[in-house]
Structure 1
Amino acid sequence: MPKLDICFSPELLLLYDLRGRVAVIVDILRASSTIVTALGEGVTHVFPVASLEECAALGRQHGCLTAAERDGLPAAGFDLSNSPFGFRDAARRVRGRALAISTTNGTAALQRSLAAKAVVVGSFLNLAAVVAFAREQARDVLVVCAGWKGQFCLEDTVFGGALAERLAADFDVQSSDATLAALHLWQQGKADLAAYLEQSAHVRRLNSLEASQDFAFCLRLDAYATVLPIWQKDRLVDAARRNAALDEE
């Protein structure tokens, strides 16, 4: 039986062997939620990069949209910020366009996880798609929580618990204390997830920036239930669209 494990911070990745595993990159507030939304609203593919300079360069090189954030605030000189509503409210503008994005935590976590057999992006918005992919792969899964500047974040870990609950029949979720802790946190908070997570430092930080609308949206379960951003060569694409294109060939 494959194993599900949780890495609480990218700073702990050196303790894990990613080879042969599925890495699920999670930054609930907000990079992974924004990337899922972007692909769900018709962005063709996403270049997630660690630095603002690389993000701007990709925009010039590929003529794509750019989105960037630092410390929760929009970075100057880019088309969009790290808010899912930038893609929902401007769906006509983004549909059919590529996107380069750089954020404080999430895109860096993804770049540090590329040794995995498969790298996908997870959020509450696409939990069902992550579950289906993990079952299909039947490989060990490591949830990589982006955290906040290397530190633990409650909301990313709670997502890991939600994933563990849905995969409990098919995966070993008992042999890792990290997974057990995440599962217990999810079970404690799932009845009223927003109220539970409002206690967390990162949520209070985000809401202080008047981004409470983002917070509420990012907790919606399976709003994009079939969207699965998956790493392919140098970019993230929607696995469902990729598979459909392959079927047509």
Structure 2
Amino acid sequence: MPSVDICFSPELLPLYSLQGKVAVIVDILRATSSIVTALANGVTHVFAVAELAECQALGRQHSCLTAAERDGRQAEGFDLGNSPFGYLDGALDVRGRAVVISTTNGTQALRRSLAADEVVIGAFLNLQAVADFARRQQKDVLVVCAGWKGMFCLEDTVFAGALAEELAADFDVSSADATLAARHLWQQAQADLPAYLLQSSHVRRLNSLEAHKDFEFCLRLNEYPTTLPVWREDRLVLLGNR
């Protein structure tokens, strides 16, 4: 039986083997939620990079939109920040466009996880799609939490617990202490997820930036239940697209 394990921070990835596994990258607030929303709303593909200079260079090279965030704020000189509403509010016509994105935490976690057999993007918005894909693959799953600047964060771990709960009938979710802990957090949180996560330091940080609307949207369960961004060659595309 395949297993589910959880890496609480990209800084811990050297302790894990990615070979033969499905890596689920999660940065609930807000990179992976924004990527899911972008591809669900007509963006053709997403390049994910670690550095701002690389983001700008790829944007010029591929004539695509640029999205960048540092410390929760949109980086200067980029078309978009790290809000899912950048792909929803109509201020920019994103349909049929590609995007290159760089964020404080999420894109770093992705770039460090590319040794996995499959790399997919997870969020509460597409929890069902991630679980369905994992069941079809029947490989060990490692949830890679983006965290905050190398440290543990609550919302990514609660998502990991929700995914483990979804997979409990078909996967071993009891052999790793990290998975057990994450499931306990999800069981505490699920009755009122927004209220529970108001305790999170990152939520408080976002709310101080007047991004409460983003917080509420990113916690919607299965807003996009069939949308699964997957890594193919050098970019993220919707499962089934190339």
State the TM-score, normalized to the length of structure 1.
Answer: 0.96
SS of the residue 2:93 aligns to: helix
- What is the Cα deviation at residue 90 of structure 1? 2.1
How many residue pairs match? The answer is 242
Which blocks of at least 5 consecutive residues in structure 2 are unaligned? none
Q: Greater shift after overlay, 9-18 or 88-97?
A: 88-97
Deviations 1:32-79 (A, max 9, x none): 000000000000000000000000001100000000000000000000
Deviations 1:88-107 (A, max 9, x none): 11287000000000000000
1:79-228 alignment runs, 5 A limit? 79-90=79-90, 93-228=93-228
Aligned equivalents of 1:34, 1:118: Cα separation in 2 = 20
Please say if residues 86 and 92 of structure 2, whose CA atoms lie closer than 8 Å, have aligned partners that are also in contact. no
Equivalent residue letter for 1:148? W
Deviations 1:192-218 (A, max 9, x none): 000000011111001100000000000
Q: Which residue of 1 aligns with 2:52?
A: 52
- What is the Cα deviation at residue 135 of structure 1? 0.1
SS of the residue 1:193 aligns to: helix
Aligned equivalents of 2:144, 2:180: Cα separation in 1 = 15
Q: Which residue of 1 aligns with 2:6?
A: 6
Deviations 1:113-168 (A, max 9, x none): 00000000000000000000000000000000000000000000000000011100
The yes-or-no answer on 1:235 pairing with 2:241 is no
Structure 1 or 2: larger helix share? 1
Q: Which residue of 2 aligns with 1:247?
A: none
SS of the residue 1:183 aligns to: helix
SS of the residue 1:14 aligns to: helix
Aligned equivalents of 1:15, 1:97: Cα separation in 2 = 37
Equivalent residue letter for 2:30? R
The yes-or-no answer on 1:73 pairing with 2:76 is no
Aligned equivalents of 1:78, 1:95: Cα separation in 2 = 18
SS of the residue 1:121 aligns to: strand
Please say if residues 227 and 240 of structure 1, whose CA atoms lie closer than 8 Å, have aligned partners that are also in contact. no
State the TM-score, normalized to the length of structure 2.
Answer: 0.99
Aligned equivalents of 2:146, 2:70: Cα separation in 1 = 14
> What CA RMSD, in Å, does the superposition of the two structures yield over aligned residues?
0.9
Equivalent residue letter for 2:81? S
Identity within the alignment, %: 74
Aligned equivalents of 2:124, 2:90: Cα separation in 1 = 22
Aligned equivalents of 2:185, 2:70: Cα separation in 1 = 28
Which blocks of at least 5 consecutive residues in structure 1 are unaligned? 243-249
Aligned equivalents of 1:240, 1:30: Cα separation in 2 = 24
Please say if residues 228 and 240 of structure 1, whose CA atoms lie closer than 8 Å, have aligned partners that are also in contact. no
SS of the residue 1:107 aligns to: helix
SS of the residue 2:134 aligns to: helix
- What is the Cα deviation at residue 240 of structure 1? 4.0
Equivalent residue letter for 2:2? P
Aligned equivalents of 1:230, 1:153: Cα separation in 2 = 23
- The runs of 4+ residues in structure 1 deviating greater than 3 Å are none
